[in-house]
Structure 1
Amino acid sequence: MEDLLQPGQLLARGVCRHLATLGYASLTEFVPDRGLRVDVIALGPKGEIWIIECKSSRVDFQTDRKWQGYLDWCDRYFWAVDTEFPVELLPDETGLILADAHDAEIQRDAPLSKLAPARRSTLTRKFARTAAERLRGFTDPRPSQIYGV
Protein backbone atom coordinates (compact mmCIF):
# COMPACT_ATOMS: atom_id res chain seq x y z
CA MET A 1 0.00 0.00 0.00
CA GLU A 2 2.77 2.47 0.90
CA ASP A 3 4.24 2.19 -2.57
CA LEU A 4 0.88 3.37 -4.01
CA LEU A 5 0.85 6.58 -1.98
CA GLN A 6 2.61 9.82 -2.91
CA PRO A 7 5.07 11.36 -0.40
CA GLY A 8 2.53 13.99 0.71
CA GLN A 9 -0.10 11.30 1.27
CA LEU A 10 2.32 9.37 3.46
CA LEU A 11 2.92 12.50 5.54
CA ALA A 12 -0.85 13.02 5.81
CA ARG A 13 -1.29 9.47 7.09
CA GLY A 14 1.28 10.02 9.84
CA VAL A 15 -0.35 13.35 10.72
CA CYS A 16 -3.82 11.78 10.93
CA ARG A 17 -2.50 9.01 13.17
CA HIS A 18 -0.95 11.56 15.53
CA LEU A 19 -4.06 13.73 15.56
CA ALA A 20 -6.13 10.70 16.56
CA THR A 21 -3.98 10.32 19.69
CA LEU A 22 -4.89 13.92 20.55
CA GLY A 23 -8.62 13.22 20.16
CA TYR A 24 -9.00 14.79 16.72
CA ALA A 25 -10.99 13.30 13.86
CA SER A 26 -9.39 14.02 10.51
CA LEU A 27 -10.12 13.91 6.80
CA THR A 28 -7.68 14.13 3.93
CA GLU A 29 -8.19 16.06 0.70
CA PHE A 30 -11.07 18.11 2.05
CA VAL A 31 -12.66 20.97 0.11
CA PRO A 32 -13.72 23.76 2.51
CA ASP A 33 -14.79 26.05 -0.34
CA ARG A 34 -14.73 26.13 -4.12
CA GLY A 35 -11.18 26.28 -5.44
CA LEU A 36 -9.58 25.09 -2.19
CA ARG A 37 -8.46 21.58 -1.24
CA VAL A 38 -6.59 21.03 1.99
CA ASP A 39 -4.38 18.03 2.65
CA VAL A 40 -5.74 17.40 6.16
CA ILE A 41 -8.55 18.98 8.14
CA ALA A 42 -9.04 17.99 11.76
CA LEU A 43 -11.98 18.44 14.09
CA GLY A 44 -11.06 18.55 17.77
CA PRO A 45 -12.97 17.39 20.84
CA LYS A 46 -14.16 20.94 21.58
CA GLY A 47 -15.06 21.73 17.96
CA GLU A 48 -11.79 23.41 17.02
CA ILE A 49 -10.72 23.09 13.39
CA TRP A 50 -7.14 22.68 12.24
CA ILE A 51 -5.80 22.61 8.71
CA ILE A 52 -2.52 20.87 7.96
CA GLU A 53 -0.75 21.17 4.62
CA CYS A 54 1.76 18.40 3.90
CA LYS A 55 4.83 19.40 1.93
CA SER A 56 7.22 16.75 0.68
CA SER A 57 9.85 19.02 -0.87
CA ARG A 58 11.08 22.58 -1.30
CA VAL A 59 9.50 22.73 -4.78
CA ASP A 60 6.17 21.46 -3.40
CA PHE A 61 6.17 24.33 -0.88
CA GLN A 62 7.38 27.00 -3.30
CA THR A 63 4.71 26.19 -5.89
CA ASP A 64 1.84 26.30 -3.34
CA ARG A 65 0.04 29.54 -4.11
CA LYS A 66 -3.19 28.86 -2.20
CA TRP A 67 -2.12 28.21 1.39
CA GLN A 68 -2.93 31.71 2.69
CA GLY A 69 -6.50 31.23 1.49
CA TYR A 70 -6.81 28.34 3.95
CA LEU A 71 -6.22 30.57 6.98
CA ASP A 72 -9.82 31.81 6.89
CA TRP A 73 -11.07 28.22 7.23
CA CYS A 74 -9.40 27.08 10.46
CA ASP A 75 -8.62 27.96 14.06
CA ARG A 76 -5.01 26.83 13.64
CA TYR A 77 -2.86 26.26 10.54
CA PHE A 78 0.10 23.87 10.38
CA TRP A 79 2.66 22.66 7.89
CA ALA A 80 3.62 18.99 8.03
CA VAL A 81 7.04 18.08 6.64
CA ASP A 82 9.60 15.33 7.04
CA THR A 83 12.89 15.69 8.88
CA GLU A 84 14.79 16.47 5.65
CA PHE A 85 12.63 19.48 4.75
CA PRO A 86 14.30 22.94 5.06
CA VAL A 87 11.96 24.26 7.79
CA GLU A 88 13.47 27.75 7.61
CA LEU A 89 11.32 28.24 4.47
CA LEU A 90 8.11 27.96 6.47
CA PRO A 91 6.50 31.12 7.86
CA ASP A 92 7.10 31.56 11.60
CA GLU A 93 3.47 32.56 12.16
CA THR A 94 2.26 29.05 11.29
CA GLY A 95 2.49 25.74 13.12
CA LEU A 96 5.01 23.04 12.32
CA ILE A 97 4.58 19.27 12.46
CA LEU A 98 7.37 16.82 11.69
CA ALA A 99 5.89 13.67 10.20
CA ASP A 100 6.54 10.43 8.42
CA ALA A 101 4.21 7.71 7.16
CA HIS A 102 3.72 6.28 10.63
CA ASP A 103 3.44 9.16 13.09
CA ALA A 104 4.04 12.86 13.64
CA GLU A 105 5.01 15.34 16.32
CA ILE A 106 4.03 18.98 16.76
CA GLN A 107 7.24 21.03 16.81
CA ARG A 108 5.70 24.51 16.89
CA ASP A 109 2.13 25.23 17.88
CA ALA A 110 0.10 27.33 15.48
CA PRO A 111 -1.35 30.61 16.71
CA LEU A 112 -5.05 30.57 17.49
CA SER A 113 -7.31 32.56 15.18
CA LYS A 114 -10.87 31.61 16.12
CA LEU A 115 -13.35 31.02 13.36
CA ALA A 116 -16.62 32.93 13.32
CA PRO A 117 -19.44 30.76 14.76
CA ALA A 118 -21.37 30.63 11.46
CA ARG A 119 -18.31 29.46 9.50
CA ARG A 120 -17.45 26.89 12.21
CA SER A 121 -21.00 25.52 12.03
CA THR A 122 -20.90 25.31 8.24
CA LEU A 123 -17.49 23.62 8.22
CA THR A 124 -18.46 21.15 10.96
CA ARG A 125 -21.56 20.10 9.01
CA LYS A 126 -19.54 19.78 5.81
CA PHE A 127 -16.91 17.72 7.67
CA ALA A 128 -19.62 15.37 8.97
CA ARG A 129 -21.32 15.01 5.58
CA THR A 130 -18.01 14.38 3.81
CA ALA A 131 -17.01 11.74 6.36
CA ALA A 132 -20.42 10.04 6.11
CA GLU A 133 -20.33 10.01 2.29
CA ARG A 134 -16.82 8.52 2.28
CA LEU A 135 -17.84 5.87 4.79
CA ARG A 136 -20.91 4.98 2.72
CA GLY A 137 -18.59 4.53 -0.26
CA PHE A 138 -16.98 1.55 1.48
CA THR A 139 -20.28 -0.31 1.62
CA ASP A 140 -21.88 1.10 -1.52
CA PRO A 141 -19.15 1.94 -4.05
CA ARG A 142 -21.61 2.76 -6.86
CA PRO A 143 -24.42 4.88 -5.33
CA SER A 144 -24.70 7.10 -8.41
CA GLN A 145 -25.91 4.17 -10.50
CA ILE A 146 -28.68 3.45 -7.98
CA TYR A 147 -29.67 6.90 -6.76
CA GLY A 148 -28.60 9.10 -9.63
CA VAL A 149 -26.24 11.04 -7.36
Structure 2
Amino acid sequence: MSHKITTLMRNTLKRLVESNKFDNVLNQVNITDAFKGRLIAEMLVTKEATNWSNHLHGGMTATIVDQLSSLALTTAFIDENDIKDETFYKARSVSLDLSITYLTSVQLGQTIVIEANTLKCGKNIAFLSVDIFNKDSKQLIAKGSHTKYLLNN
Protein backbone atom coordinates (compact mmCIF):
# COMPACT_ATOMS: atom_id res chain seq x y z
CA MET A 1 0.00 0.00 0.00
CA SER A 2 1.19 3.47 -0.85
CA HIS A 3 -0.18 5.75 1.83
CA LYS A 4 0.48 8.95 -0.15
CA ILE A 5 -1.11 7.67 -3.37
CA THR A 6 -4.09 6.23 -1.48
CA THR A 7 -4.65 9.54 0.33
CA LEU A 8 -4.34 11.48 -2.92
CA MET A 9 -6.88 9.24 -4.68
CA ARG A 10 -9.30 9.39 -1.72
CA ASN A 11 -9.09 13.19 -1.76
CA THR A 12 -9.50 13.30 -5.54
CA LEU A 13 -12.62 11.12 -5.38
CA LYS A 14 -13.95 13.26 -2.53
CA ARG A 15 -13.55 16.41 -4.65
CA LEU A 16 -15.29 14.75 -7.59
CA VAL A 17 -18.20 13.64 -5.37
CA GLU A 18 -18.50 17.10 -3.80
CA SER A 19 -18.57 18.84 -7.20
CA ASN A 20 -22.38 18.50 -7.30
CA LYS A 21 -22.10 17.01 -10.75
CA PHE A 22 -22.88 13.47 -11.88
CA ASP A 23 -19.90 12.01 -9.97
CA ASN A 24 -21.73 12.61 -6.69
CA VAL A 25 -23.40 9.21 -7.25
CA LEU A 26 -20.07 7.73 -6.14
CA ASN A 27 -20.49 9.07 -2.60
CA GLN A 28 -20.59 5.55 -1.10
CA VAL A 29 -17.30 4.44 -2.72
CA ASN A 30 -14.43 4.05 -0.28
CA ILE A 31 -10.93 3.69 -1.72
CA THR A 32 -9.12 1.13 0.42
CA ASP A 33 -5.80 1.04 -1.43
CA ALA A 34 -4.06 2.67 -4.36
CA PHE A 35 -0.63 2.33 -5.84
CA LYS A 36 1.01 2.75 -9.22
CA GLY A 37 -1.49 1.68 -11.88
CA ARG A 38 -3.95 0.05 -9.47
CA LEU A 39 -6.81 1.05 -7.22
CA ILE A 40 -9.00 -1.00 -4.87
CA ALA A 41 -12.27 0.25 -3.39
CA GLU A 42 -15.44 -0.93 -1.67
CA MET A 43 -19.02 0.25 -1.83
CA LEU A 44 -22.10 -0.62 0.16
CA VAL A 45 -25.02 -0.97 -2.27
CA THR A 46 -27.52 1.63 -1.05
CA LYS A 47 -31.05 2.32 -2.28
CA GLU A 48 -29.80 5.22 -4.45
CA ALA A 49 -27.55 2.80 -6.38
CA THR A 50 -30.23 0.18 -7.12
CA ASN A 51 -32.75 -0.49 -9.85
CA TRP A 52 -36.45 -1.30 -9.50
CA SER A 53 -35.65 -4.81 -8.16
CA ASN A 54 -33.23 -3.55 -5.48
CA HIS A 55 -30.11 -4.81 -7.30
CA LEU A 56 -27.09 -2.69 -8.21
CA HIS A 57 -28.12 -0.57 -11.21
CA GLY A 58 -26.25 -1.24 -14.47
CA GLY A 59 -25.71 2.47 -14.96
CA MET A 60 -24.10 2.69 -11.53
CA THR A 61 -21.83 -0.21 -12.46
CA ALA A 62 -20.85 1.63 -15.67
CA THR A 63 -20.09 4.81 -13.70
CA ILE A 64 -17.94 2.84 -11.27
CA VAL A 65 -16.00 1.29 -14.16
CA ASP A 66 -15.58 4.67 -15.85
CA GLN A 67 -14.41 6.71 -12.88
CA LEU A 68 -12.44 4.14 -10.89
CA SER A 69 -10.50 2.98 -13.93
CA SER A 70 -9.76 6.66 -14.62
CA LEU A 71 -8.40 7.00 -11.08
CA ALA A 72 -6.31 3.84 -11.57
CA LEU A 73 -4.94 5.47 -14.71
CA THR A 74 -4.12 8.59 -12.69
CA THR A 75 -2.01 6.51 -10.30
CA ALA A 76 0.08 5.31 -13.26
CA PHE A 77 1.35 8.89 -13.69
CA ILE A 78 2.26 9.44 -10.05
CA ASP A 79 5.65 8.98 -8.50
CA GLU A 80 5.02 8.73 -4.78
CA ASN A 81 8.24 10.60 -4.03
CA ASP A 82 6.99 13.61 -6.04
CA ILE A 83 3.68 13.98 -4.17
CA LYS A 84 3.74 17.25 -2.25
CA ASP A 85 0.06 18.12 -2.21
CA GLU A 86 -2.38 15.28 -1.45
CA THR A 87 -5.56 17.22 -2.26
CA PHE A 88 -6.38 16.51 -5.93
CA TYR A 89 -4.88 15.03 -9.06
CA LYS A 90 -6.58 13.47 -12.07
CA ALA A 91 -5.02 12.43 -15.36
CA ARG A 92 -6.37 14.37 -18.32
CA SER A 93 -8.00 11.87 -20.65
CA VAL A 94 -11.17 11.09 -22.57
CA SER A 95 -12.93 7.79 -23.07
CA LEU A 96 -12.63 6.05 -26.42
CA ASP A 97 -14.41 2.85 -25.44
CA LEU A 98 -16.20 1.55 -22.35
CA SER A 99 -17.51 -1.99 -22.11
CA ILE A 100 -19.08 -3.90 -19.24
CA THR A 101 -19.96 -7.56 -19.00
CA TYR A 102 -22.60 -8.13 -16.32
CA LEU A 103 -22.22 -11.63 -14.87
CA THR A 104 -24.64 -11.64 -11.94
CA SER A 105 -26.42 -9.23 -9.63
CA VAL A 106 -25.73 -7.86 -6.19
CA GLN A 107 -28.51 -6.81 -3.82
CA LEU A 108 -29.29 -3.78 -1.73
CA GLY A 109 -27.28 -3.91 1.49
CA GLN A 110 -24.44 -6.00 0.09
CA THR A 111 -20.89 -4.69 -0.33
CA ILE A 112 -18.92 -4.81 -3.54
CA VAL A 113 -15.14 -4.76 -3.99
CA ILE A 114 -13.79 -2.91 -7.02
CA GLU A 115 -10.36 -3.67 -8.47
CA ALA A 116 -9.26 -1.21 -11.17
CA ASN A 117 -6.05 -1.73 -13.13
CA THR A 118 -4.00 0.06 -15.73
CA LEU A 119 -3.16 -2.72 -18.17
CA LYS A 120 -1.06 -0.66 -20.57
CA CYS A 121 -0.34 3.04 -20.83
CA GLY A 122 1.26 4.24 -24.02
CA LYS A 123 2.02 7.74 -25.28
CA ASN A 124 -1.56 8.44 -26.41
CA ILE A 125 -3.73 5.47 -25.40
CA ALA A 126 -4.35 3.66 -22.11
CA PHE A 127 -6.06 0.30 -21.60
CA LEU A 128 -7.80 -0.26 -18.28
CA SER A 129 -9.79 -3.03 -16.60
CA VAL A 130 -12.16 -3.22 -13.65
CA ASP A 131 -13.40 -6.32 -11.82
CA ILE A 132 -16.30 -5.97 -9.40
CA PHE A 133 -16.86 -8.69 -6.79
CA ASN A 134 -19.43 -9.43 -4.11
CA LYS A 135 -17.36 -8.94 -0.95
CA ASP A 136 -19.01 -11.77 1.00
CA SER A 137 -19.23 -14.47 -1.67
CA LYS A 138 -16.14 -13.34 -3.66
CA GLN A 139 -18.27 -13.91 -6.78
CA LEU A 140 -17.41 -11.82 -9.84
CA ILE A 141 -20.33 -9.44 -10.50
CA ALA A 142 -19.08 -7.52 -13.53
CA LYS A 143 -15.99 -7.03 -15.70
CA GLY A 144 -15.22 -3.69 -17.26
CA SER A 145 -12.89 -2.64 -20.03
CA HIS A 146 -12.01 1.02 -20.64
CA THR A 147 -9.85 2.58 -23.33
CA LYS A 148 -8.78 6.20 -22.90
CA TYR A 149 -7.05 8.79 -25.03
CA LEU A 150 -4.45 10.75 -23.04
CA LEU A 151 -4.43 14.56 -23.19
CA ASN A 152 -1.04 16.15 -22.46
CA ASN A 153 -0.23 14.40 -19.18
Q: Same fold (TM over 0.5)?
A: no
Higher gyration radius (CA): 1
**Whose strand proportion is higher, 1 or 2?**
2
Structure with more of its chain in helix, by fraction = 1
Q: TM-score, normalised on structure 2? A: 0.35
Greater length-normalized contact order (CA 8 Å, ≥ 6 residues apart): 2
What is the TM-score normalised by the length of structure 1?
Answer: 0.36
